[in-house]
C-alpha cells in the first residue's frame, strides 16, 4: 500500500530517541529542509533483508542531493533488543546510514505503523508524502524520492542476490511459521508422514511464547514445505557457546540445494542470534526439511521462505 498525500506531519518522536548508531542524535527540527526516508526494520526479518540493497543504494545515491535515510530499528524478538546485537548487525549488513534504536516503539507508534518493513517518505517541511509497506514497489518508491528532491533520472540498478534475492512469489506455497506458542501454527505431534506446511519437533524441547529452546543434544525440527528458500531464525545459548547442526532434505544431505549458512553436507553452526539461510533450491519444490542440533541450548524462533 502506498500514498502520495500526507498521512502524518511530525517526526518529533525522533527527539525522544536517546540511542543512535552511525550518527549523533537527529531531531525533527534538524531534519527540516531535508527529504527524509524513514525505514522501519528489525535485523532478523527476511522481508526487510530483501529491501536493504535498495535502501542502501538510495542512501548513497541521493545523500548529496538532500536525502537523509533514517533506519528505525524496532525489535521483534528479545535478542533484537540488545544494542550490541543490533550494532553488530548494522556492521555485518553494511547499514551505514543513521539508525535510531526504537526498543520502546515510540517512533513506530507515532507513525501508527503495523509492519516490518515499512518506508515513510517525509518532505522538507516535515510532512509524510508517501509510504510503502513490505517488499517491492522499488521504482515507485524511488520516483517518489526523486519527485521530492526535484530529480528526474534513471532509477538505480541493484544487484540483489544472496540473502537479499527476491522471493519466488509465483511458486511459493509455504508462509512464515512461528515456533513459539504465542503465534505458532501448523505443529503436529509426530514428524512421520507430515502434510505440506506442517512441522514437528523431536527430542527434549521447551516451547515458550516466543521460541522453542532445546534442553538436550540431539533434538530436531522437521518441516514439509514448498518454496525455493527456507530460512530459520536461531540463537545460541545464553552463555554464547556455538551450537553445531546438520540439515537433511528428503532424508539426504542438501548438496547443491544448501543455503548460505550450511555446506553441501548440510553442516552448520549457530554462533550468533540472526536469520540463517538453510535451503536455496534452483527452483521451488516440495521437500521434507529436517534440522538436528548436536548441542543443547539453541533457540528457534521462526521459519521464513522465499
Its pTM stands at 0.94
Collapsing DSSP states into helix, strand and coil, what is residue 122? strand
CA distances (Å), origin 63, targets 68, 149, 280 = 6, 11, 35
Collapsing DSSP states into helix, strand and coil, what is residue 128? strand
CA distances (Å), origin 23, targets 70, 150, 275 = 10, 26, 26
What is the reported pLDDT for 5? 42
Phi/psi of residue 261, each to 5°?
A: -100, 10
Collapsing DSSP states into helix, strand and coil, what is residue 58? helix
What is the reported pLDDT for 178? 98
Contact between residue 227 and residue 274 where contact means Cβ atoms under 8 Å apart: no
Q: Which residues, at least 6 apart from 8, have a Cβ–Cβ distance to it below 8 Å?
A: 110, 111, 112, 120, 127, 128
What is the reported pLDDT for 156? 96
Q: What is the mean pLDDT of each run of 10 residues along the chain (306 residues)?
A: 44 94 95 97 98 98 98 98 98 98 97 97 95 97 98 95 94 98 95 96 97 98 98 94 98 98 98 98 96 98 98
| Separation CA 189–CA 8 (nearest Å) | 47
What is the reported pLDDT for 10? 73
What is the reported pLDDT for 9? 41
What is the reported pLDDT for 8? 41
What is the reported pLDDT for 93? 97
Phi/psi of residue 57, each to 5°?
A: -65, -40
**Which residue reads 530529480 in cell numbers?**
151
Question: Please, what sign has the CA dihedral across residues 264, 265, 269, 273?
Answer: positive
Residue 233 per-residue DSSP state: E
| Separation CA 11–CA 224 (nearest Å) | 44
| Residue-by-residue DSSP string for 147-177 | HHHT--SPPPP----GGGSPP-TTT-----E
Residues listed for the chain: 306
CA distances (Å), origin 48, targets 44, 70, 207, 288, 297 = 8, 14, 26, 26, 27
Q: Is 160 left (phi over 0), alpha (psi -120 to 50) or beta?
A: beta
| Separation CA 3–CA 292 (nearest Å) | 46
What is the reported pLDDT for 3? 42
Amino acid at each position: 500500500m502506498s500514498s502520495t498525500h500526507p498521512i502524518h506531519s511530525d517526526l518529533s518522536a525522533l527527539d525522544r530517541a536517546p540511542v543512535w548508531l552511525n550518527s549523533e542524535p537527529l531531531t525533527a527540527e534538524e531534519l527540516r529542509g531535508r527529504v527524509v526516508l524513514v525505514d522501519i526494520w528489525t535485523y532478523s526479518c527476511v522481508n526487510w533483508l530483501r529491501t536493504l540493497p535498495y535502501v542502501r543504494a538510495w542512501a548513497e545515491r541521493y545523500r548529496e542531493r538532500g536525502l537523509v535515510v533514517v533506519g528505525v530499528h524496532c525489535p521483534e524478538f528479545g535478542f533484537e533488543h540488545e544494542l550490541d546485537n543490533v550494532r553488530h548487525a548494522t556492521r555485518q549488513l553494511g547499514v551505514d546510514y543513521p539508525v535510531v534504536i526504537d526498543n520502546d516503539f515510540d517512533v513506530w507508534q507515532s507513525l501508527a505503523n503495523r509492519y516490518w518493513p515499512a518506508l515513510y517518505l517525509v518532505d522538507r517541511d516535515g510532512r509524510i508524502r508517501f509510504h510503502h509497506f513490505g517488499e517491492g514497489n522499488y521504482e515507485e518508491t524511488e520516483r517518489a524520492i526523486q519527485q521530492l528532491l526535484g530529480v528526474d533520472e534513471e532509477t538505480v540498478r541493484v544487484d540483489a542476490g544472496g540473502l537479499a534475492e527476491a522471493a519466488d512469489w509465483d511458486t511459493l506455497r509455504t508462509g512464515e511459521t512461528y515456533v513459539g506458542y504465542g503465534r505458532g501454527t501448523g505443529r503436529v505431534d509426530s514428524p512421520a508422514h507430515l502434510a505440506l506446511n506442517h512441522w514437528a519437533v523431536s527430542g527434549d524441547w521447551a516451547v515458550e511464547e516466543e521460541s522453542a529452546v532445546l534442553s538436550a543434544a540431539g533434538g530436531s525440527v522437521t518441516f514439509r514445505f514448498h518454496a525455493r528458500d527456507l530460512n530459520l531464525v536461531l540463537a545460541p545459548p545464553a552463555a554464547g557457546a556455538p551450537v553445531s547442526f546438520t540439515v537433511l532434505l528428503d532424508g539426504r544431505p542438501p548438496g547443491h540445494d544448501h543455503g548460505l549458512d550450511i555446506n553441501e553436507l548440510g553442516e552448520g553452526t549457530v554462533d550468533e542470534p540472526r536469520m540463517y539461510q538453510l535451503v536455496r533450491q534452483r527452483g521451488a519444490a516440495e521437500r521434507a526439511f529436517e534440522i538436528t542440533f548436536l548441542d543443547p541450548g539453541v533457540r528457534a524462533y521462526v521459519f521464513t521462505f522465499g
